Chains A and B, each alone.
Chain A
Amino acid sequence: MIYLDNAATSWPKPPEVLKAMTDVLELAGGNPGRSGHRLSIAAAREVYNAREDIASFFNVADPLRLIFTSNATHAINVALRGLLKPGDHVVTSSIEHNAVMRPLRSLEKQGVHLSIVPCAADGSLDVRDVVRVMNSRTRLVAITHASNVMGTILPIAEVASVAHKAGALLLVDSAQTAGTIPIDMPAMGIDFLAFTGHKELQGPPGIGGLAIGDNVDISEIEPVMRGGTGSHSESEEQPDDLPDKFESGTLNLVGIAGLHAGIQWVKDRGIDTIRAHLKELTLALINGLSELPEIKVYGPLDTNSTVAVISFSVHHKRVSEVGLKLDEEYGILCRVGLHCAPAAHKTMGSFPEGTVRLAPGVFTTMDDISTTIRAIEQVIHS
Chain B
Amino acid sequence: MTRYGVVLFFTNSSVMRAEKLLKEAGYSTKLIPTPREFSSDCGVVLRFDWTDCEQVKLILDTAHLEIDTIHQM
Alpha-carbon distance between A283 and B38 when the two chains are bound, in angstroms:
63
* In the bound complex, CA of A340 to CA of B53 (Å): 56
A36 touches B33 (CB 8 A): yes
Identify which of residues 201-231 in chain A touch chain B, using a CB-to-CB cut-off of 8 Å: 229-231
Contacts of A45 in B (CB 8 A): 16, 19
Instruction: Decide: A48 near B13, CB < 8 A? Known: A35-B33, A36-B32, A41-B31.
Output: yes
- The one of B10, B16, B19, B33 in contact with A241, judged by C-beta atoms closer than 8 angstroms, is B10
Q: 0/1 per residue, A182-203, Cβ < 8 Å to B?
A: 0000000000000000000000
- Residue B73 is within 8 A (CB to CB) of chain A in the complex: no
Q: What residues of B have a CB within 8 angstroms of the CB of A89 in the complex? A: none
A214 to B13, CA, bound (A): 18
Min CB distance, B33 to chain A, in Å? Answer: 3
With a cutoff of 8 Å between Cβ atoms, the chain B residues found around residue A34 in the complex are 42-43
- Indicate if the CB atoms of A48 and B17 lie closer than 8 Å: yes
Q: Are A231 and B10 in contact (CB under 8 A)?
A: yes
Asked whether A230 and B43 contact (CB < 8 A) given A32-B12, A243-B13, the answer is yes
A37–B32 Cα gap in the complex (Å)? Answer: 8
Instruction: List, in ascending order, chain B residues with CB within 8 A of A37's CB.
Output: 33
Q: B34: which A residues are within 8 A, CB to CB?
A: 36
Number of interface residues of B (CB under 8 A): 20
CB B56 to nearest CB in A, in angstroms, measures 18
Whether A234 lies near B13 (C-beta < 8 A) is no
Write out the residue numbers on chain B whose beta carbons fall within 8 Å of the beta carbon of A32: 12
Chain A, Cβ-Cβ closest to B9: A231
Are B13 and A35 in contact, with the CB atoms below 8 A?
Answer: no
Cβ contacts under 8 Å, B57 to chain A: none
In-complex Cβ contact of A230 among B17, B20, B33, B42 (8 A): B42
Establish whether residues B16 and A44, one from each chain, have CB atoms under 8 Å apart when the complex forms.
yes
Contact A44 B41 (CB under 8 A): no
Q: Given A35-B42, A231-B43, A243-B13: A48 and B31 within 8 A (CB)?
A: no
User: Are the C-beta atoms of A233 and B41 separated by less than 8 Å?
Assistant: yes
CB distance from A374 to the nearest CB of B (A): 52
Q: Please judge, given known A-B contacts A35-B42, A63-B17, whether A231 and B33 are in contact too, CB under 8 Å.
A: no
A interface residues, how many (CB within 8 angstroms) = 28
A33 CB contacts on chain B under 8 angstroms: 11-13, 43
Closest to B32 in A: A36
Chain A residues in 8 Å Cβ range of B19: 45
Query: A157 within 8 Å of B by Cβ?
Result: no
The answer to the question of A244 belonging to the interface, with a C-beta cut-off of 8 Å to chain B, is yes
Is B15 an interface position by the 8 A CB rule? yes
- With A and B bound together, what is the CA distance between A64 and B20 in angstroms? 14
Query: CB-CB < 8 A to A242: which residues of B?
Result: 11, 13
Residues of B contacting A232 in the complex (Cβ-Cβ under 8 angstroms): 10, 41
Q: With the chains together, A243 CA to B10 CA distance in Å?
A: 11
Bound state CA distance, A35 and B43, in angstroms? 5
B33 surroundings in chain A (CB, below 8 A): 35-37
Are A244 and B31 closer than 8 Å at their CB atoms?
no
A288 within 8 A of partner (CB): no
A51 interfacial by beta-carbon distance below 8 Å: yes
Bound-state Cα–Cα, A232 to B40, Å: 8
Q: Within 8 Å CB of A230, what residues of B?
A: 11-12, 42-43
**Is A239 in the interface zone, CB < 8 Å from B?**
yes
Most buried by A among B13, B14, B31: B13
Q: Does B44 contact A (CB under 8 A)?
A: yes
- Would A36 and B43 count as touching, CB distance under 8 A? yes
The chain A residue sitting closest to B17, CB to CB, is: A48
Chain B residue contacts of A64, Cβ below 8 A:
11, 13-14, 17
> What are 17 A-B pairs with beta-carbon distances under 8 A?
A32-B12, A33-B13, A34-B42, A41-B31, A44-B12, A48-B16, A63-B17, A64-B11, A230-B42, A231-B43, A232-B10, A232-B41, A233-B40, A233-B43, A241-B10, A241-B66, A244-B12
- Can you name 9 extra interface pairs (CB under 8 A) apart from A35-B43, A47-B13, A241-B10? A34-B42, A36-B31, A36-B42, A45-B16, A49-B20, A52-B17, A52-B20, A63-B17, A234-B40
Cβ-closest 3 pairs across A and B: A36-B33, A33-B12, A48-B16
Interface residues of B (CB under 8 A from A): 10-17, 19-20, 31-34, 40-44, 66
